[in-house]
Amino acid sequence: MTPAPLFWFAALALVAAALASLLWPLLRRRDGAGDAGPEDLAAAASVYRDQRRQLDEDLAAGAITADEHKAALDELASRLSAEVASTPGSGAVAGATSRAPWIAALALVAVLPAAAVLAYLALGNPATLTPSPHGAAAAQGVSDEQVRAMVESLAQKMKANPGDPNGWLLLARSYSAMGRFPDAVDAYKQAAERGTPDAQLYADWADAAAMTQGRKLAGAPEALVVRALALDPKNGKALALSATARLERGDVAGSLVQWRELRALLPNGSDDAREIDTVIAQLDGQQLKLPGSAPSASTTAATPPAPGVATAPPIAPGAVSPHATPGAAVGPALTGRVELDPKLAARVAPDDTVFVLARAAEGPRMPLAVQKFRAAELPRAFRLDDSMAMAPGMTVSSRPSVVVEARVSKSGNAITQPGDVRGTTAAVAPGTGDLRVVIGEVVP
């Protein structure tokens, strides 16, 4: 049913209900009105009070006008006077009294619906019942200009009333989503100063701060991560950022320990767990290649599954191909072109990171080859081959069929996050060329 008929049907039902509430007490005593004894007169007075109270409520609610209210009260008073003055057997008085409720009922039936319609036309907004040609499009989403306007409006409200920590937190996350990281850092600081200590707030603040200094966590961002872990040692995002900070300093063993702590929070079989396993496998390979190093018992022990965070935490970009060696055989290459769907152009900033990777069509999700570049370079050709292997033996040529995925990450994190945009090919054989990957899907 379209909006207009549905509205008028509902309005008609409400008017009918109002009429019923008025007419029932008005008409229920029409029989035997001429035999008014003391008990009957008391009952009539009670009905009069009930009806007057109903009329007062209808007037207050705007269901009837002041003139209609006065007329109805006059009618009620006249009817009550007639019943008081009547005596048993007085047919003339009884007849007049018995006709009075019907006159009042007819007046209400005629006046109340008309008054309701006229009041809506005068005070309501009938134009909203007619769908505009742009209504469907407007219902599907909000334009980028409207989003920016809403964020700016929130910013002005926070300047006028800076005492609300939740408002600052909302503003900070809005700025982060828009890629305005310096503004996000300032808003996170305001939220932290005014609210109770919160691990997730400090982790998000650290992430935004790292983005302002070239995605590096050294210094202030890492200090914020330390504060987050002090509040909640199992905060997934803080663990991931801390592990990445250790990796930036070359502490592969320490980074592995924290990645394994994070892995213990994730259920086996989840996409997040598989991606963390990929990171751990990559770092294990790096550790084995360090001179004089060997994996310790703490980094090789099996990690028990445990329920944990629902979304994947971000990790900073590291070396994309740690096992690539100069002059290595490239094998059959996957080549093609990555493009961004124009409808998602507003979601992508020039400095966002594009990951292009090949995975086995069936089997482990660990990337077989990865290439990355800035979103400003889109559209761009790509090439994925065995020289870009992420782990020994995990190469493009080692799988009978592969898929190619291209993903844009605002944070530059290797793990897929909600809000990233991506595109994927169908399964193809190694060596396939002229592939076209269109980034046109938002990660839920």
> Are residues 118 and 25 part of one domain?
yes
Torsion of CA 409, 410, 413, 418, to 10 degrees: -70
Q: Bridge-partner residues for 407, per DSSP?
A: 355, 422
**pLDDT the model gives residue 293:** 42
> Are residues 180 and 111 part of one domain?
no
Torsion of CA 316, 213, 223, 186, to 10 degrees: -120
> Are residues 178 and 120 part of one domain?
no
pLDDT in tens, the chain (444 residues): 555 565 666 666 676 766 666 666 666 654 444 444 555 555 666 666 777 777 777 777 666 777 777 777 777 666 666 655 554 444 444 444 555 566 666 666 566 666 666 666 555 555 555 544 444 434 444 456 777 888 888 899 999 989 999 889 989 988 887 788 999 999 999 999 999 989 999 999 999 999 898 888 999 999 999 999 999 999 989 999 998 888 888 888 888 889 899 989 988 887 778 878 888 887 776 655 544 443 333 333 333 333 233 333 333 333 333 333 333 446 788 999 999 999 999 999 999 999 999 989 987 777 888 888 899 999 999 999 887 776 556 788 889 999 999 999 988 877 778 889 999 999 999 999 999 999 999 988
Of 251, 283, 300, the position where a domain reaches its end is 300
Q: Are 66 and 59 in contact (CB under 8 A)?
A: yes
**pLDDT the model gives residue 299:** 33
> Are residues 296 and 152 part of one domain?
yes
Residue 240, domain CATH:
1.25.40.10
> Are residues 289 and 188 part of one domain?
yes
Answer yes or no: is 195 within a domain: yes
Q: Are 386 and 358 in contact (CB under 8 A)?
A: no
Which domain, by its residues, includes 266?
A: 144-300
Residue with tokens 């020289």: 387
Q: What domain count does the chain have? A: 3
Of 99, 129, 159, the position where a domain reaches its end is 129
Answer yes or no: is 313 within a domain: no
How distant, in Å, are the alpha carbons of 66, 285, 381, 390 from that of 324? 88, 12, 20, 8
**pLDDT the model gives residue 84:** 55
Kind plus residue range of the DSSP H or E element containing 408: strand 402-409
Answer yes or no: is 326 within a domain: no
> Are residues 220 and 77 part of one domain?
no
Distance between CA atoms of 377 and 350, rounded to whole angstroms?
A: 8
Answer yes or no: is 185 within a domain: yes
Task: Output DSSP code: residue 87.
Answer: -
**pLDDT the model gives residue 26:** 60
Backbone angles phi and psi of 372, in degrees to 5: -135, 155
Answer yes or no: is 228 within a domain: yes
Please tell me whether the overall predicted TM-score, pTM, comes out greater than 0.85 for this model: no
Answer yes or no: is 309 within a domain: no
Of 75, 104, 129, the position where a domain reaches its end is 129
> Are residues 378 and 283 part of one domain?
no
> Are residues 370 and 273 part of one domain?
no
> Are residues 275 and 200 part of one domain?
yes
> Are residues 188 and 111 part of one domain?
no
**pLDDT the model gives residue 125:** 55
**pLDDT the model gives residue 284:** 74
> Are residues 204 and 118 part of one domain?
no
Q: Are 406 and 354 in contact (CB under 8 A)?
A: yes
Cβ burial of 395 (10 Å; 0-12, 13-18, 19+) is buried
The one-letter amino acid at 142: V
Structural tokens at position 207: 């992430």
Answer yes or no: is 324 within a domain: no
* Spatial CA neighbour of 291 closest among 255, 252, 332: 252
* 39 alpha-carbon distance from chain centroid: 64
> Are residues 248 and 106 part of one domain?
no
Q: Bridge-partner residues for 441, per DSSP?
A: 422
Q: Are 158 and 164 in contact (CB under 8 A)?
A: yes
**pLDDT the model gives residue 204:** 93
Residue 416, domain CATH:
2.60.40.2990
Answer yes or no: is 60 within a domain: yes
